Amino acid sequence: MRVERVPYRLITAATAAVFLAACGKKESAPPPQTPEVGVVTVQPQAVPV
């Protein structure tokens, strides 16, 4: 029984195609938005003990 061998050039070309396809230009992420914050005003007052 003879086992067929895949040509190394085909394997090399397929591997190169996969790597080159992964090297495409990636879109940059949009800049982060300004975070929203809550504001609390602290006032002194007497507290019974």
Section 13-17 average pLDDT: 86
Is pLDDT of 27 > 80? no
9-16 mean pLDDT: 86
pTM above 0.75, yes or no: no
Q: What is the pLDDT of residue 43?
A: 94
**What whole-number distance in Å separates Cα of residue 39 and Cα of residue 36?**
10
The encoded tokens of residue 49 equal 């003990």
Its sign, for the CA torsion 35, 38, 44, 46, is: negative
pLDDT, residue 11, reads 86
Structure tokens at 39: 């504001």
CA distance 13 to 18: 9
Q: How far is CA 6 from CA 2, 9, 11, 16, in A?
A: 13, 9, 7, 16
